[in-house]
């Protein structure tokens, strides 16, 4: 059982401590409850651009010095942005805990004085290169973006990907960045998790010293995150320079953590978790019509997402692949799964959880997520219980209820010369 | 009030110890290494076979990795589906693969099921059935993968760079082969490779994680006892091409919005006596985020999302390569900046803080990279593959600490040569051809297969 202690500072900063002395390391992890869902159309890509800016120095930490301070003592660090949150983390030799807290508190409390147009211009270019490298210059790179555009109405917060559009990135001004920071980057919108080799009483003192005097902010802007039903399948065919046709599907689910979401998580393992899974076995192994298949759900807070994709082999029509997928889904919805399939899926969930717990950094991230999305870090102790309790009936029900044509968006990537 | 103006000082460091390694050698020559780690109820099981794509001849490029892909198509009395089902019922996942230096089989599994999982690992290691329908399936998937790479700029750049550097010999072909070579591979080729290379006396088994060392070692000894020993195949010869002067090879990708740049030449083998000095030098040059090349191209100029330099330390001399994807408009400038950084590191112009920061990073980061059972297994596999001494991880810090400024200049001058470098660029030729011409270097245009394109 993990040793967990949760508390809150008077400025609203929530803290979770997980003391564990197995290695002389400490992981410092901050979840800011802000992501691309807090952007508005025409102003997309801000949360992620902002993540880059937070590495470019604060009042007492020079440009690029954040990286240098951490790396020069043997630490590792990064940050990531997603729909619902932005996380920043470093893992340090445990005797440098104070250094990490100093760095993180400086950019939480004293970021604006160090912000300059020049830094913004450089990071804007870096992010545009990131977009080119990961989206625009690689085959299938824009698939997720296209799927989101199809699956959500233009004013819904998941309509755009975290990277944002080139136009919006170009338009981001210093004032936009300032306002974004002031609105969202504050102690009362953050969970700080420490995991590893520290003495809790000493850590608490340091946290109070470094974070205690950072002021909370005013009211948070409200977003309507109630998703409207699709009213039928949304579907597109996109001709593009790729060699093999590929189908992408997004099925809507309830929020992360709900019973149906957990059942759907297990269901995706039955569909595509290993070589003996339904899709792999039928499409790749036996019929050999697909090059690869995948099915998985995303850890999203506002609404649930189940993704599927399959690549047709050269000379095979993507329609044939889609039909074979649908046959397998129907078979599942009608006949359910075997006991062995359910056991394998539960085992997979158990192993994935164990892998997250194994490392301080991924463990701190999991704890931070649970505290941020569900308001309770202790869920880490019981996370697997609903998985263990899932029945064959549950899987049939989610297949029947959610894996239907009118609950999905479909994007077909077709070779341009085909 | 706390002083925010200066970075807080560290407290006393806490000692770190790499897990104790239990080593045994079976009568058939198989080496077994076990290391305990109780962070989570999982175990990492690995077989390392010390032959990889370095043994592929040009006609059969891709053979080692095809053999590896076939291992989980059936073993002992289980077919491919049964293997996946049974592994899954144990809470395990089975993976196989080959790189340049070796072939690997891995099972990550819930620790309560280690015993039957070691049996599966053994079956796949030396009782693979290599069925004909498995080869058909693996080959077909491989050909599709090769086809798909025709659209992937990073894959194209890597292949052409390797081909120009090593010709058709070892390290010059792709690990996954090409369409012709993969089409040519027969079941006989596969069985011959498996019989000749998958030998206990050329292999190691590693078990790490939530296990008891003595019991795990005994289990491995039992399960792998029947693996038959034979004479080891000779090591392949690696013969890099000589590059008398730097030159540019341009591969046109008309739809490109970025240029994939590779700059480099032959590097050194893992066994180099200068391994530690090169590691420190390369970390200053381009090995980590805060290194010169990335700070220059990314943080100063905003040309790229990330640029880095790598020495591929293999059993024979792997490449040294700088890689950077940059937007079309700044392709020439980026090549110039990279070459300038290669020149600068050779001058011995290294700040004391730069050297100390880098050494401290390399020395300090080790514990953070060996937290999981799988991380630890990887380190043990490296020790086995490259014949590292048993006290290697204990002495790592002092080996890094001993590197001084003079060493940086010395190894940079010896192993980094901007005047004899291959520069491979996959990009929009119409847009970048002309600017690249002003570099003052010979420029050749080739297609994605490496054939010269004549105007």
Chain B, nearest residue to A312 by Cα: B144
The total number of structural domains in chain A stands at 2
Contact of A198 with chain B, judged by CB distance below 8 Å, is answered with no
Q: Read off the pLDDT of residues B366-384 as tens digits, 9 standing for 90 and up.
A: 999 999 999 999 999 999 9
Measured in angstroms, the CA of A231 and the nearest CA of chain B are apart by 36
Record the tokens describing residue A317, joined without a space: 């029509």
d(CA A196, CA B14): 12
**Order of strands, sheet of B247-252, starting from the edge strand that comes earlier in the sequence:** B308-311, B319-327, B258-266, B422-427, B247-252, B443-446
What percent of chain A is predicted at pLDDT more than 70?
100
Question: Which three-class secondary structure state does DSSP give residue A374?
Answer: helix
> Residue B8: which of A72, A98, A136 has the nearest Cβ?
A98
Q: Read off the pLDDT of residues B422-437 as tens digits, 9 standing for 90 and up.
A: 999 999 999 999 999 9
Q: Do B367 and A344 touch (CB under 8 A)?
A: no
Mean pLDDT to the nearest integer, B309-322: 97
Q: Please report whether residue A74 resides in a domain.
A: yes
Chain A, nearest residue to B135 by Cα: A285
Mean pLDDT to the nearest integer, A114-130: 94
pLDDT beyond 80 at A417 = no
d(CA A295, CA A277): 11
Contact of A129 with chain B, judged by CB distance below 8 Å, is answered with yes
Measured in angstroms, the CA of A55 and the nearest CA of chain B are apart by 11
Question: Which three-class secondary structure state does DSSP give residue B331?
Answer: helix
Measured between beta carbons, the chain B residues lying within 8 angstroms of A106 are: 4
Question: Which three-class secondary structure state does DSSP give residue A333?
Answer: helix
Q: Based on the domain organization, do A28 and A165 belong to the same domain?
A: yes
- Report pLDDT for B169: 87
Mean pLDDT to the nearest integer, B188-216: 98
| C-alpha closest to that of B451 among B148, B151, B159 | B159
Chain B, nearest residue to A211 by Cα: B2
Measured in angstroms, the CA of A405 and the nearest CA of chain B are apart by 29
Q: Please report whether residue A55 resides in a domain.
A: yes
Q: Based on the domain organization, do A37 and A186 belong to the same domain?
A: yes
Q: Residues 161-190, chain A: which have Cβ within 8 Å of B?
A: none
Q: Do B302 and A125 touch (CB under 8 A)?
A: yes
Q: Quick one: CA torsion of A235, A239, A244, A248, rounded to 10 degrees? A: -20
- Report pLDDT for A38: 95
Record the tokens describing residue B321, joined without a space: 């390569």
Q: Based on the domain organization, do A116 and A157 belong to the same domain?
A: yes
Contact of A287 with chain B, judged by CB distance below 8 Å, is answered with no
d(CA B435, CA B246): 17
d(CA B19, CA B39): 12
Q: Do B356 and A343 touch (CB under 8 A)?
A: no
| C-alpha closest to that of B104 among B121, B89, B127, B120 | B121
Residue A378 binned pLDDT confidence (cut-offs 50, 70, 90): very high
CB of B149 closer than 8 Å to CB of B416: no
Residue A315 binned pLDDT confidence (cut-offs 50, 70, 90): very high
Measured between beta carbons, the chain B residues lying within 8 angstroms of A60 are: 4-6
Measured between beta carbons, the chain A residues lying within 8 angstroms of B72 are: 275
Contact of A138 with chain B, judged by CB distance below 8 Å, is answered with yes
Q: Do B365 and A74 touch (CB under 8 A)?
A: yes
Would you give the distance in Å from CA A397 to the centre of its chain?
A: 26
The dihedral through the CA atoms of B346, B347, B349, B352 has a sign that is positive
Measured between beta carbons, the chain B residues lying within 8 angstroms of A49 are: none
pLDDT beyond 60 at A418 = no
Q: Please report whether residue A262 resides in a domain.
A: yes
Measured between beta carbons, the chain A residues lying within 8 angstroms of B151 are: 138-139, 241-243
Measured between beta carbons, the chain B residues lying within 8 angstroms of A139 are: 148, 151-152
- Report pLDDT for B455: 62
Q: Do A354 and B110 touch (CB under 8 A)?
A: yes
Q: Tell me which of A70, A351, A363, A364 to substitute to probe the interface with B (most B C-beta atoms closer than 10 Å).
A: A351
Chain B, nearest residue to A205 by Cα: B2
Q: Please report whether residue A289 resides in a domain.
A: yes
**For B130, left (φ over 0), alpha (ψ -120 to 50), or beta?**
left
d(CA B231, CA A398): 56
CB of B59 closer than 8 Å to CB of B181: yes
Q: Based on the domain organization, do A171 and A305 belong to the same domain?
A: no
> Residue B8: which of A99, A242, A340 has the nearest Cβ?
A99
CB of A344 closer than 8 Å to CB of A273: yes
Q: Based on the domain organization, do A245 and A342 belong to the same domain?
A: yes
| DSSP conformation letters of B89-149 | HTTEEEEEEE-SS-EEEEEEEEGGGHHHHHHHHHHHHH-B---HHHHHHHHHHHHHHHHHG
Q: Quick one: CA torsion of A325, A326, A329, A334, rounded to 10 degrees? A: -140
Q: Please report whether residue A337 resides in a domain.
A: yes
> Residue B302: which of A22, A64, A122 has the nearest Cβ?
A122
Q: Do B8 and A360 touch (CB under 8 A)?
A: no
Record the tokens describing residue A197, joined without a space: 């080799």
Measured between beta carbons, the chain A residues lying within 8 angstroms of B39 are: 22, 357-359
Record the tokens describing residue A224, joined without a space: 């309507």
**ipTM confidence:** 0.94
Q: Among residues A153, A177, A211, which one ends one of the domains?
A: A211
In terms of residue numbers, what domain contains A322?
234-415
Residue A400 phi/psi, 5-degree rounding, is -65, -40
Residue A265 binned pLDDT confidence (cut-offs 50, 70, 90): very high
Q: Do A72 and B80 touch (CB under 8 A)?
A: no
Residue B41 binned pLDDT confidence (cut-offs 50, 70, 90): very high
Q: Do A137 and B257 touch (CB under 8 A)?
A: yes
Q: Do B361 and A347 touch (CB under 8 A)?
A: no
CB of B443 closer than 8 Å to CB of B250: yes
d(CA A19, CA A21): 7
pLDDT beyond 50 at A102 = yes
Question: Which residue intervals of A139-279 are DSSP H helices?
Answer: 143-151, 166-171, 174-184, 200-211, 259-272, 278-279
Measured between beta carbons, the chain B residues lying within 8 angstroms of A95 are: 10-14
Measured between beta carbons, the chain A residues lying within 8 angstroms of B364 are: 73-75, 93
The dihedral through the CA atoms of B423, B427, B428, B429 has a sign that is positive
Q: Do B140 and A275 touch (CB under 8 A)?
A: no
Q: Based on the domain organization, do A321 and A400 belong to the same domain?
A: yes
Q: Based on the domain organization, do A298 and A261 belong to the same domain?
A: yes
Measured between beta carbons, the chain B residues lying within 8 angstroms of A289 are: none
Q: Read off the pLDDT of residues B376-423 as tens digits, 9 standing for 90 and up.
A: 999 999 999 999 999 999 899 999 999 999 999 999 999 999 999 999
Record the tokens describing residue B122, joined without a space: 């053994």
Q: Read off the pLDDT of residues A13-38 as tens digits, 9 standing for 90 and up.
A: 999 999 999 999 999 999 999 999 99
CA distances from B60 to B176, B180, B334 (A): 10, 9, 37
Residue B299 DSSP label: I
Record the tokens describing residue B181, joined without a space: 């070579």
Q: Do A274 and B88 touch (CB under 8 A)?
A: yes
Chain B, nearest residue to A360 by Cα: B371
pTM of the model: 0.96
Mean pLDDT to the nearest integer, B154-169: 95
Q: Please report whether residue A338 resides in a domain.
A: yes
What percent of chain B is predicted at pLDDT more than 90?
96
Q: Based on the domain organization, do A178 and A308 belong to the same domain?
A: no
**Domains of chain B from N-terminus onward:** 21-223 (3.30.830.10), 247-387+395-446 (3.30.830.10)
Measured between beta carbons, the chain A residues lying within 8 angstroms of B252 are: none
H/E stretch holding A6 reads strand A4-8
Q: Based on the domain organization, do A168 and A315 belong to the same domain?
A: no
Q: Read off the pLDDT of residues B121-147 as tens digits, 9 standing for 90 and up.
A: 999 999 999 999 999 999 999 999 999
Q: Do A74 and B151 touch (CB under 8 A)?
A: no
Contact of A24 with chain B, judged by CB distance below 8 Å, is answered with yes
| C-alpha closest to that of A97 among A195, A212, A214 | A195
Q: Do B92 and A358 touch (CB under 8 A)?
A: no
Q: Read off the pLDDT of residues A70-91 as tens digits, 9 standing for 90 and up.
A: 999 999 999 999 999 999 999 9
> Residue B290: which of A64, A98, A313 has the nearest Cβ?
A64
Q: Read off the pLDDT of residues B327-356 as tens digits, 9 standing for 90 and up.
A: 999 999 999 999 999 999 999 999 999 999
Contact of A69 with chain B, judged by CB distance below 8 Å, is answered with yes
- Report pLDDT for A141: 94
Residue B447 binned pLDDT confidence (cut-offs 50, 70, 90): very high
Residue A376 DSSP label: -
Chain B, nearest residue to A134 by Cα: B305
Measured in angstroms, the CA of B198 and the nearest CA of chain A are apart by 24
Record the tokens describing residue B121, joined without a space: 């690992």
Q: Based on the domain organization, do A269 and A203 belong to the same domain?
A: no
Q: Read off the pLDDT of residues A156-201 as tens digits, 9 standing for 90 and up.
A: 999 999 999 999 999 999 999 999 999 999 999 999 999 999 999 9
H/E stretch holding B424 reads strand B422-427
Record the tokens describing residue B355, joined without a space: 């050297």
Q: Do A98 and B10 touch (CB under 8 A)?
A: yes
Contact of A139 with chain B, judged by CB distance below 8 Å, is answered with yes
Q: Tell me which of B141, B289, B303, B378 to substitute to probe the interface with A (most A C-beta atoms closer than 10 Å).
A: B289
- Report pLDDT for A280: 97
CATH number of domain containing A391: 3.30.830.10
Q: Do A133 and B141 touch (CB under 8 A)?
A: no
Q: Do B85 and A344 touch (CB under 8 A)?
A: yes
Name the burial class of residue A76, with classes exposed (0-12), middle (13-18) and buried (19+) by CB atoms within 10 angstroms of its CB: buried
Q: Based on the domain organization, do A341 and A392 belong to the same domain?
A: yes
Question: Which three-class secondary structure state does DSSP give residue A216?
Answer: coil
d(CA A10, CA B370): 37
Taking each helix axis from N to C terminus, what angle separates B405-415 and B331-346, rounded to the nearest 10 degrees? Answer: 130
Q: Based on the domain organization, do A71 and A148 belong to the same domain?
A: yes
Q: Tell me which of B2, B35, B428 to substitute to probe the interface with A (most A C-beta atoms closer than 10 Å).
A: B2
Question: Which three-class secondary structure state does DSSP give residue B413?
Answer: helix
Across A39-48, A196-205, A313-322, A384-393, least confident range: A39-48
Q: Are strands B203-209 and B42-49 parallel, antiparallel or unpaired?
A: antiparallel
Q: Do B365 and A24 touch (CB under 8 A)?
A: no
Residue B329 DSSP label: G
């Amino acid at each position: 059982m993990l040793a967990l202690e949760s508390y809150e500072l008077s400025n609203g900063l929530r803290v979770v401590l997980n003391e564990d002395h197995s290695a002389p390391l400490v992981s410092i992890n901050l979840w800011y409850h802000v992501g691309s869902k807090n952007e508005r159309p025409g102003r997309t890509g801000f949360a992620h651009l902002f993540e880059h800016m937070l590495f470019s120095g604060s009042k007492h930490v020079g440009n690029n010095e954040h990286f240098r301070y951490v790396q020069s003592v043997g630490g590792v660090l990064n940050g990531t942005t997603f729909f619902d949150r932005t996380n920043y983390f470093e893992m340090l030799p445990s005797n440098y805990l104070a250094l990490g807290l100093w760095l993180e508190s400086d950019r939480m409390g004293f970021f604006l004085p160090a912000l300059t147009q020049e830094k913004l211009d450089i990071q804007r270019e870096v992010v545009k290169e990131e977009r080119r490298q990961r989206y625009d210059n690689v085959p299938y790179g824009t698939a997720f973006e296209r799927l989101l555009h199809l699956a959500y109405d233009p004013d819904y917060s998941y309509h755009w990907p975290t990277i944002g559009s080139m136009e919006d990135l170009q338009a981001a001004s210093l004032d936009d960045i300032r306002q974004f920071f002031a609105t969202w980057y504050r102690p009362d919108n953050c969970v700080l998790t420490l995991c590893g080799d520290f003495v809790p009483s000493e850590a608490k003192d340091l946290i109070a010293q470094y974070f205690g005097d950072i002021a909370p902010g005013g009211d948070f802007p409200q977003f309507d995150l109630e998703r409207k039903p699709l009213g039928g399948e949304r579907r597109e065919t996109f001709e593009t320079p790729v060699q093999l046709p590929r189908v992408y599907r997004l099925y809507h689910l309830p929020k992360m953590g709900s019973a149906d979401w957990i059942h759907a998580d297990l269901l995706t393992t039955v569909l595509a978790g290993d070589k003996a899974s339904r899709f792999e076995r039928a499409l790749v192994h036996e019929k050999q019509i697909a090059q690869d298949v995948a099915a998985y759900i995303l850890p999203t807070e506002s609404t649930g997402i189940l993704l599927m994709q399959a690549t047709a082999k050269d000379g095979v029509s993507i329609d044939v692949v889609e039909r074979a997928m649908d046959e397998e889904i129907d078979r599942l919805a009608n006949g359910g799964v075997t006991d062995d399939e359910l056991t394998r899926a539960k085992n997979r969930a158990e192993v994935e959880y164990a892998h997250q717990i194994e490392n301080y950094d991924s463990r701190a991230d999991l704890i931070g997520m649970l505290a941020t999305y569900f308001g309770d870090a202790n869920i880490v102790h019981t996370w697997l219980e609903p998985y263990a309790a899932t029945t064959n009936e549950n899987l049939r029900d989610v297949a029947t209820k959610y894996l239907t044509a009118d609950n999905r968006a479909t994007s077909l990537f077709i070779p341009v010369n085909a | 009030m706390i002083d925010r103006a200066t970075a807080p000082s560290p407290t006393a460091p806490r000692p770190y110890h790499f897990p104790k390694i239990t080593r045994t050698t079976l009568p058939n020559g198989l080496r077994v290494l076990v290391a305990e780690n109780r962070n989570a109820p999982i175990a990492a099981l690995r077989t390392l076979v010390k032959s990889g794509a370095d043994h592929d001849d040009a006609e059969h490029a891709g053979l080692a990795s095809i053999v590896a892909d076939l291992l989980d198509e059936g073993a002992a009395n289980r077919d491919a589906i049964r293997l996946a089902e049974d592994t899954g019922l144990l809470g395990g996942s089975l993976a196989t693969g080959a790189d340049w230096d070796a072939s690997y089989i891995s099972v990550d599994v819930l620790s309560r099921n280690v015993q039957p999982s070691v049996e599966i690992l053994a079956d796949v290691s030396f009782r693979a059935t290599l069925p004909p329908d498995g080869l058909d399936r693996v080959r077909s998937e491989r050909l599709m993968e090769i086809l798909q790479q025709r659209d992937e700029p990073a894959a194209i750049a890597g292949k052409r760079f390797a081909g120009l550097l090593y010709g058709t010999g070892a390290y010059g072909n792709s690990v996954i082969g090409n369409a012709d070579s993969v089409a040519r591979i027969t079941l006989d080729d596969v069985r011959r490779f498996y019989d000749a290379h998958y030998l206990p006396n050329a292999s190691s088994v590693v078990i790490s994680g939530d296990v008891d060392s003595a019991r795990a070692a005994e289990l491995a000894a039992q399960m792998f006892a029947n693996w038959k020993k034979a004479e080891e195949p000779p090591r392949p010869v690696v013969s890099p091409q000589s590059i008398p002067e730097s030159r540019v090879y341009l591969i046109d990708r008309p739809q490109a919005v970025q240029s994939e740049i590779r700059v480099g030449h032959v590097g050194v083998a893992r066994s180099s006596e200068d391994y530690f000095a090169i590691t420190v030098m390369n970390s200053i040059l381009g090995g980590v985020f805060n290194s010169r090349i990335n700070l220059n191209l990314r943080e100063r100029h905003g040309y790229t999302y990330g640029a880095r330099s790598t020495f591929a330390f293999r059993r024979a001399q792997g490449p040294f390569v700088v890689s950077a994807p940059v937007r079309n408009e700044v392709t020439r400038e980026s090549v110039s900046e990279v070459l300038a950084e290669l020149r600068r590191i050779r001058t011995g112009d290294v700040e004391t803080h730069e050297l100390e920061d880098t050494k401290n990073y390399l020395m300090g980061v080790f514990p953070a990279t060996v937290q999981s059972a799988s991380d630890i297994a990887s380190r043990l596999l490296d020790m086995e593959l490259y014949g590292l001494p048993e006290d290697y991880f204990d002495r790592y810090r002092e080996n890094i600490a001993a590197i001084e400024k003079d060493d940086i200049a010395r190894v940079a001058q010896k192993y980094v040569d901007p005047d004899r470098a291959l520069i491979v660029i996959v990009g929009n030729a119409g847009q970048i051809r002309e600017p690249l011409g002003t570099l003052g270097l010979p420029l050749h245009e080739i297609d994605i297969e490496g054939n010269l394109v004549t105007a």
